[in-house]
Amino acid sequence: MALLRIQSDWYIYFWLLYCKIYSAIIWLFGNHCRGTDKARAVITSGIGGQSLGSLHRVRTRRKKTQQYHRTKHVVALARRPSYKRIVMAPGASTAHAMMEDKEKLLAPATIRSRRISQFAPLLIALVGLPARGKSQLAHRLARHLNWNGESTKVFDCSEYRRRHMALYGSHDIFRADNQQGSAIRRQSAHEAVQDAVIWLKDGNSVAIFDGTNITREQRRELSDYCLSDMGFRILFIECVCEDQELLERNIIEILHYSADYKDMSEEEAVDDLRKKLEHYMRQYEPIDAGLESIGFVRVENMGETVTAHKVAGQKESGILGYLSGMRGLPQTIYFTRHGESEYNVLGRIGGDAALSARGQLYARALADYFNAMATIDPVSVWTSELRRTKQTAADIHAVKRPVRALNELDAGICEGLTYEEMQERFPQEFAWRDQDKLRYRYPWGESYIDIMTRLRPVLSALEDEHNVVVVGHQAVLRCMLGYFLDAKLDELPYMNVPLHTIVKLTSYGYKYKVEMIKLPVECVDTYRQQPKVRAEQNCSINRSTAEALTTVPSHYDTLPSNLWQSPTEAQL
C-alpha cells in the first residue's frame, strides 16, 4: 500500500511540473507576439497617422492593458468602420493587420463603385468609329428599355454639333490638329452629357450618350464624373465592325440619311466620309481592359460576338442579354388583322368566332398577295391560337407558326359582349376603361400593359426576323406596331389598325418606313375614337348611356341583311 501511495504522489508531482512548464512556454510565446505587434504598431503609426490600421492596433493594446497576459483571446475592431466585432487568437493580429493594409491599397478602385446603389440611374456611353452601328444600337436599345418600363432617351452628340454649325463644311472639323473643330466637338459632347444628367436627375432610369468617345482620356473623365461627382452608374458599349458587307451597308445609310450630306453630291459625300473615317482612325484608342478600370461590353459586327468585362447590376445584365441576341440585318415585316369575323359584324369583343363571308374573301386575297411573292422572297407566317387568324392564313403557301402570346386581349367578364351590353351591365367598368384604356384591366381579364408584357419575347425574336407575316388581332397589333414605330404608350390603345389591310414595315437604319396596303374587300369599321378627344364627351361613371356610346362604331343592325350569305348566295 505504501508503495502504491508513493507511486501516485510521483504521478501528481510530474503532472504539476508539466503544467508549470506549459504555462511558461505560453507566457513566453505571448510576450514575443506582443513585442512584434508593438514594433509594427510604432512603425505604422509613424507612417499612417490615424489610419484604420492604427485604430486597430491602439484598441488591441488597450485590451491587453486591461486583461494582461493571461487573456486567451483578443477582441479587435474590424477593418471597416461598421464596428463589427471578430474574435482572434493570440498572435493573429499581425496577419490581420497585413491583410488590412493590402485591402486598403485596393480600396480606391473598388469601394467607390460599391457605394453606388443598384437603383441609381445608368448612363450608357457608346464607343467606336463612325459607321460601326452605334446609332442603330443606341435607338434599338432605347426602344427595348422603354418598352420594359425603363424610361430611356438617346442623346446624339452629332445633333449637338450641328447646333454650333449653320452648315456642315467638310471633314476638316474632325482633324486632330483643328483646334476650332476640336473645341466645337468637346463643347457638343459636354452639352450632350449635361442634358443626359438633367434627364437622369429628373427621375428617369437610363440615358444613352451616342458619341465616339475614342480616347482613353475621354472615357476616364466621363467615368470619374459619373461615379464620383454624380453618383450614377456607367456602362461603356464599344461597337466594332470588321464585316465588310455590314460596314458598306452602314456607310450607305449614313450617306443617304445623315443631315451632314444632304446637300452634297454622292461623290463628294463618299470622299468626305472616307477622310472623316481616316481622321478618327488616327485618334482611336480601343478599350483595353488592362489599361482601363471601367465596365464595358464590346459588340462585334452588330451582335455576332459580344464580350463583357466588369458588368454588374440588374439593368446592365438585362442590357447584356439583349445585346447578345441582337442582329443588325435589314428586315421587312408584314402585319395584318384576321379577316372580318362574325363577332366583328355583330360588334362583339373577344371570343373565338369564325370568319364572315367577307372575311373568307379577304383570306383568299391575302393568300394571292403573298403567294405571288413566294417565288421571289418566301415568307413565314405567325398566327395566334384563335380560329379566325388560322382561317385567314390557311391558304398562304408558307410555314405557319401559332404563337399563344399573339392571342387577342382577354376581356374577362365582358368577353363576347357588345359595347351597348357592356354599358348596360357594367357602366362603371365601361367608364373606367374610357378614362385610362392603356392600364384598365377587365375583371378576370387583361389590360394593354399585360399584352405588352407577354409580347416581350415575341418582339425580341421578331427584331431579328425577315419577311415574316404576323396575322393577329387589333389590340395585339397596336402594341407590336407601337413598339417598332416607337410610339408613346398612351397612344397605343387608339392606333388605327383597320381590317383587310396589310401594314408593311421596312427598316432603314434604326427607323421603319410604314406602308399601308388596302386589299379590295369590303368590311366593317371596328375603330372607336378616343372619347377624351371630343370636348363634349363625359368619361365619368355618372354619364348617361348616350354619352357613353357616342364613339361606338356601328355594326350589324346598320348593315345589309344579306351580309351573312355566302358569296355564291349573294350573287344569286
Among residues 103, 54, 94, which one has the least CA distance to residue 74? 94
3-state helix, strand, coil in the chain (%, to 5): 50, 15, 35
- Sequence-separated (6 or more) residues with CB below 8 Å from residue 469: 334, 335, 336, 370, 379, 380, 381, 382, 393, 396, 398
Residue 111 exposure: Cα atoms within 13 Å on the Cβ side: 8
Task: Cell 374610357: give the residue.
Answer: 434
* CB burial of residue 247 (10 Å; 0-12, 13-18, 19+): middle
Q: Is 241 a catalytic residue?
A: yes
The one catalytic residue in 210, 272, 316, 342 is 210
> Is the torsion defined by CA of 97, 100, 104, 106 positive or negative?
positive
Task: Cell 363571308: give the residue.
Answer: 357
**Distance between CA 236 and CA 213 in Å, rounded?**
9
Q: What is the largest CA-CA distance in the chain?
A: 138
User: CA-CA distances (angstroms) from residue 422 to 241, 442, 552, 558, 560?
Assistant: 56, 11, 12, 19, 24
The one catalytic residue in 56, 338, 473, 555 is 338
Q: Is 156 a catalytic residue?
A: no
DSSP 246-307: HHHHHHHHHHHH-GGGTTS-HHHHHHHHHHHHHHHHHH-----TTT----EEEEETTTTEEE
**Distance between CA 512 and CA 268 in Å, rounded?**
27
**Distance between CA 139 and CA 545 in Å, rounded?**
45
By the 8 A CB rule, do 299 and 240 touch?
yes
Q: Is 33 a catalytic residue?
A: no
Q: Is 279 a catalytic residue?
A: no
The one catalytic residue in 241, 414, 479, 523 is 241
**H or E stretch covering 511:** strand 511-518
**Distance between CA 280 and CA 268 in Å, rounded?**
19
The one catalytic residue in 408, 446, 463, 547 is 408
**Distance between CA 486 and CA 508 in Å, rounded?**
14
User: CA torsion 89→90→95→97, rounded to 10°?
Assistant: 100
Query: What residues are annotated to the active site?
Result: 210, 241, 338, 408
